[in-house]
Structures are given as structure tokens and as C-alpha cells.
Chains A and B, each alone.
Chain A
């Protein structure tokens, strides 16, 4: 596809369950970012990948959050033992290495009941 895609678009889960969110970046983009947007807030940086490595994980809110990227392409954000405060829209973005304006996907809306 031409843009960043994310799946699922919506996810409803019960507190305590694990969830996986997927991101397919634009082909050829080596940089990949995860952000989240909680209700009424701006976007909050979570993690940055360059290729398959993550040199900046400073935004991950707790050790329940982890992410990986394989083949320099697809990335998965995993949240273990979900809590209600994890409810948010999780956005993935990708860019060329030196491009400061990443392209965003449509997001995954996560609701933890």
C-alpha cells in the first residue's frame, strides 16, 4: 500500500489480557515510531526503531509495554496485562532516516474494559 497501515483498527479487551497491535510502514522507510493519544491529549512518543533496533524506548510507560520490528518492516506493539489507563489510540509512523516529518497510520483504538 501507499501509506502506513495498522491493524486492527479497533480493539476491545478485558483488563488483564494481553494485546498485540501491528504496523506496516511505508516501503523503504527505515525509521518507525509508535505514539499514543489518550482522550483529550496530544500525541505521546513511545518508541523509535531504526531498522530492527530500538535506540530510543524512553516513552514506554511501563515494562508491560514492549515492541519489536522484524525485517526492517513490520512492527508489533505488545501490551501485557492491560489496564484501563492503557485505553488510547495507538499510532504508528514511518519515515526515511533523516526526515523529521513522519507519515502516520490511521491508528488502533484500544479500549480496555
Chain B
């Protein structure tokens, strides 16, 4: 039972254009959502997050949108740069009942390639 799904294994975008990565979830108890970025042979690095009380959070070139009714979130990168090429993981948390905030459920990841 995959509670967090990233249905696109890969995405290819031209430099300067927008990258949109999508994520769907099924567990209505999730109240915090995160995006991590991972380069080969490195651990995932936190990118941006959003609480379920918001529908948008922006940080520089990165914006995350949350649609709770559709149980869908997306990450927008504008403009995309070649250095953004990496695997992007969507993750969700239900706060572990207030005991394990960092217990995350991850999607399978989307490989983003930004071409110069």
C-alpha cells in the first residue's frame, strides 16, 4: 500500500523553463509535506516543505502547492537550471502522534534532468 506516489519516474526540461513535479497521497492523516533533493552517492537534502494549513509555500525559485481535497502536491522550479538535475522525493508526515516528527513516508522519486 503506497501512501505517497510520484507517478512520473522522470522529467526532462530545458534550462530556463518551469519544472513541475507531482505527488499524490492517500493518507488523510498526513499534515506536513516535504520535498527532498538527492544527488548520486549523497543523502537526500531538504528543499522545501508545507503544512496542511497552507496551500502554497515559496522559497526563491521553488514553490510547493498543496491541494488537500485532491490529496495532491506539486513542486514548481522556475527557472530551471542544469544544477537542479537530481532525484526529487516527495515525503509526508503525520507527526507520529507528536512523538516522531521526522518519521516520513516517501514517494519513489522523480529524476529531473535540466538540459542546457
Nearest CB in chain B to that of A56: its residue: B100
Cβ distance B26 to chain A, nearest Cβ, rounded Å? 14
A side interface size, CB within 8 A: 28
Cβ distance B49 to chain A, nearest Cβ, rounded Å? 6
Is A98 part of the contact surface with B, judged by Cβ < 8 Å? yes
Q: Which of A41, A42, A55, A95 contacts B102 (CB 8 A)?
A: A95
Is A99 part of the contact surface with B, judged by Cβ < 8 Å? yes
The reply to whether A48 and B108 form a contact with Cβ atoms under 8 Å apart is no
Contacts of A44 in B (CB 8 A): 106
Complex alpha-carbon distance, A108 and B89, angstroms: 19
The reply to whether B108 and A104 form a contact with Cβ atoms under 8 Å apart is no
Complex alpha-carbon distance, A91 and B41, angstroms: 11
Is A12 part of the contact surface with B, judged by Cβ < 8 Å? no
The reply to whether B103 and A45 form a contact with Cβ atoms under 8 Å apart is yes
Cβ distance B62 to chain A, nearest Cβ, rounded Å? 14
A-B contacts, 13 listed (Cβ < 8 Å): A33-B100, A33-B102, A42-B107, A43-B104, A48-B103, A55-B99, A93-B43, A101-B46, A104-B36, A105-B43, A106-B42, A106-B43, A107-B43
Give residues in A with beta carbon < 8 Å to B.
4, 31, 33, 35, 40-45, 48, 50, 55-56, 91, 93, 95, 97-107
Q: A35-B104, A56-B100, A100-B49 are in contact. List 16 more A-B contacts (CB 8 A).
A: A33-B100, A42-B4, A42-B89, A42-B107, A44-B106, A50-B100, A55-B100, A56-B96, A56-B103, A93-B102, A98-B101, A99-B102, A100-B95, A101-B34, A102-B102, A104-B45
